[in-house]
Structure 1
Amino acid sequence: MLDTIQRFFQQALAEPERSENPAPTLERATAALLCEVMRADYHTDDSQIEALRDLLMTHFKLSSEAVEELMELAREEVETSVDHYQFVSLIKQHYDYDQRRELVRMMWALANADANHNALEEHRIRRLAELLHVSHSDFIRTKLQVQGKAE
């Protein structure tokens, strides 16, 4: 019985909307983690919002209207969620290592968008990279790539 209850909660958290296509849920989870990085320093800059919009449009190949809706849904989910588990577990379940590393690179791009890099953003990215099982060397490598200090 305990297994049944545990399975129910894992499915409810991992797949909040039962659908044939998990992409919208994955898109929201990705956008939510990016919003977490943006909120890490308790200041959201217009340049970060624009960078988030560009990252989502490029990464998911969405229209500007779809990106606006995705950003709004992600903000709502981040504000109402208790922790990152639901987002991280879904991403780990459906993204391979290279996709998760690319997500960390996107986090760095977002953190650097406002030219006001701080320790809170770096800490949040480090923690999310650990939860996503992205190695520390790739965490540093993506940081340097975004900052233009490595290839």
Structure 2
Amino acid sequence: MAQFQRLLVVLILTAVLLVVAEAAGDPDTSGCRGLTHGRYSRVFAFGNSLTDTGNAAIYPPTAGGTFTRLPYGQTYFGRPSGRASDGRIITDFLVEELKVPQPTPYLAGSTAADFVNGSNLAIGGSTALEPAFLEARGVTSLVLVSLSNETRWFQNVL
């Protein structure tokens, strides 16, 4: 089990660090393109609660969970933010450093316009491996979302 946990952490950190940011192309002479100030125009984030900025607060099995109530979000946001943290998470810092707008949580969007700034496809409790694979080994999860679901959501956004 420890080996599985290490693999999961490595996969999640890799996904976070790669963040799948889309290059904005050649910037104009001011170094800006649209609303961005750098090389990137949007971010697509994958992962679990380490990168989720609101999907778990919407996903029916976890909606209304503890992270949707105070003290989660109290210190930095002043209100519950849907993050499994009192403050910001790695996605928030990456978006700030890349100088791009915060991506819309996938489950909060409904039109193409909602995803112009990218999308956060991460959902707290998701796994790298398929739920069926885990269930066959006696592991059950409240969140039946895996990395393959997140990549399908990404295809829907595109």
Query: Is TM more than 0.5 here?
Result: no
The structure whose RCO (Cα within 8 Å, separation 6+) is larger is: 1
In the superposition, the TM-score normalised over structure 1's length comes to 0.31
In the superposition, the TM-score normalised over structure 2's length comes to 0.31
More strand as a share of residues: 2
